[in-house]
Amino acid sequence: MVAEQVEMLLNGDFAVAWAWKHVEPDVVAAFPITPQTLIVEKFSEFVANGEVRTQFVSVESEHSAISAMVGAAAAGARAATATAANGLQLMHEILYIVSSMRLPVMLGVANRAVSGPINIHCDHTDAMGQRDAGWIMIFTEDAQEAYDTTIQAFKIAENPEILLPIMVNLDGFLISHTAMNVKVFKDPKVVKDFVGETRPVPKIKLMGEEVELSLNPRNPIPVTFGPFAYYDYYFEFKRQQIEAMKKVPDVVERVNDEYYEISGRKYGNGRVVPWNVDDADIVAVVMGSAAGTMRYVARKYRERGVKIGILRVRMFRPFPWRDLQELLRGKEVVAVFDRTQDQGVMGGPLFLETLAALHYLDDRPRNVVNYVFGLGGRDFPPELVEKVFDELIRIKDGKEKPFVKKYVGVRE
């Protein structure tokens, strides 16, 4: 049954803060950095006004913020933080520790270009630098999805079959500072019932007793987090992480469906969001806010009889390669759009992952090309999308040679 909701004019950062308010995590530790700052500023107001019982910890750096998350989550707390760009880079060392210790921390990232030269606007380079850190990674399209996905994130990460940290990405300024009407739950109890009033801490057998897998001072039986692991055990730790990550796609889909029951909103199957892909000859694969612009332009081409589809990848880690295989097999042209630096490689991360997924298909797409766009917040207006689509049509019709990679919207 869909729960009662109210519309509020919120930007993406405030939407994340309101999601936190409704979840009410035990601990939030954060350090401000543009364009994420509004998340923790707004949430700190909720804390100061007594609207939530969260312990808010002001720290001196992003490294300290994520380190505080380690301590909080290891003690069994529901923990959340947020950052962007260089702040996420400063967290890099500890991100691996969080995932290795199987701590379900929620991290909101307002995606921003990384220095240098210094730039505070959107691209995905910050998140892509962490793509192998063992975190679940979801990319949102707008403020509504940022609110919804933040709520879902706690339920996904804390699932006892998963116990992995999760990163919810929202494009800096394009989502973080752009306001829209966002539907939020009128009664926070709906959210608490959905994610659980408190974090479900798993129990293990230890020294003949069943104990919480947490550093609980009320239980003197020693539980160790982050011990030294020699080569005779380290590999097994990593394998357990990998096996947990394999279970994430099904959990993401299930949580997406369950959220639909209370909200009336769902995002594809939770992993990918296809738009008119089934009958399309040309499919554009993209992540983040650019998907909306591309759908807007593709509708015009559809009216002219040109079958263009848009496939938005929502869950980047673990990569939904099976979904891409199913949806993209037999297509004439697949164009993958990366909003990130691609230093010294064949193409951007989304392109390379997509290319690998399609390689083993007998009926793989005839042409797969890569566009790098929007670095440092460079605009990607409808006129530029039209230019790209016209080029893809010429490739489909054999009037232009396919290519591997192009930079679109840049002065050459």
pLDDT digits (tens, 9 = 90+) for 43-90: 999 999 999 999 999 999 999 999 999 999 999 999 999 999 999 999
pLDDT digits (tens, 9 = 90+) for 231-274: 999 999 999 999 999 999 999 999 999 999 999 999 999 999 99
Q: Indicate the range of 4-13, 124-133, 202-211, 275-284 predicted with least confidence.
A: 202-211
Structure tokens at 362: 């007998």
257 touches 266 (CB < 8 A): yes
Question: Distance of alpha carbon 350 from its chain centroid, rounded?
Answer: 13
Per-residue pLDDT at 355: 97
The boundaries of every CATH 3.40.50.920 domain in the chain are: 272-407
Displacement of CA 215 from its chain's centroid (Å): 28
CA distance 377 to 121: 5
Q: How confident is the model at residue 97 (pLDDT cuts 50, 70, 90)?
A: very high
Distance CA(360)–CA(68), nearest Å, equals 43
* DSSP codes of every residue in 225-258: SS----TTTHHHHHHHHHHHHHTHHHHHHHHHHH
Selection from 133, 128, 14, 30 nearest residue 83 by Cα: 30
Spatial distance between the Cα atoms of 277 and 313, rounded to a whole number of angstroms: 13
In three-state secondary structure terms, 376 is: helix
- Please give the structure tokens belonging to residue 155: 């339920």
Q: In this predicted structure, what is the pLDDT of residue 280?
A: 98
* Residue 209 binned pLDDT confidence (cut-offs 50, 70, 90): confident
Sign of CA dihedral 402, 405, 407, 412: negative
- The pLDDT assigned to 225 comes to 87
Structure tokens at 387: 């230019």
Question: Does residue 318 have a cis bond before it (omega within 30 degrees)?
Answer: yes
Parts of the chain belonging to CATH 3.40.50.970: 5-200+247-263
User: 5-200+247-263 falls under which CATH superfamily?
Assistant: Thiamin diphosphate (ThDP)-binding fold, Pyr/PP domains (3.40.50.970)
Q: What is the mean pLDDT of the chain?
A: 96
Query: What's the CATH number for 272-407?
Result: 3.40.50.920
The distance of Cα 126 from the centroid of its chain, to the nearest Å, equals 12
Residue 74 confidence (pLDDT): 95
Q: What is the model's pLDDT at position 304?
A: 96
Q: What band does 130 get if pLDDT is binned at 50, 70 and 90? A: very high
Kindly indicate the confidence band of residue 400, based on its pLDDT and cuts at 50, 70 and 90: very high
pTM surpassing 0.85?
yes
When pLDDT is cut at 50, 70 and 90, the band that residue 305 belongs to is very high
Place of tokens 């966002």: 182
Q: How far is CA 279 from CA 152, 247, 335, 386, in A?
A: 31, 30, 16, 20
Cross-strand pairs, 163 = none
Residue 218 pLDDT more than 90?
Answer: no
Using alpha carbons, list the distances in angstroms from residue 305 to 185, 279, 299, 336, 395.
40, 12, 10, 22, 17
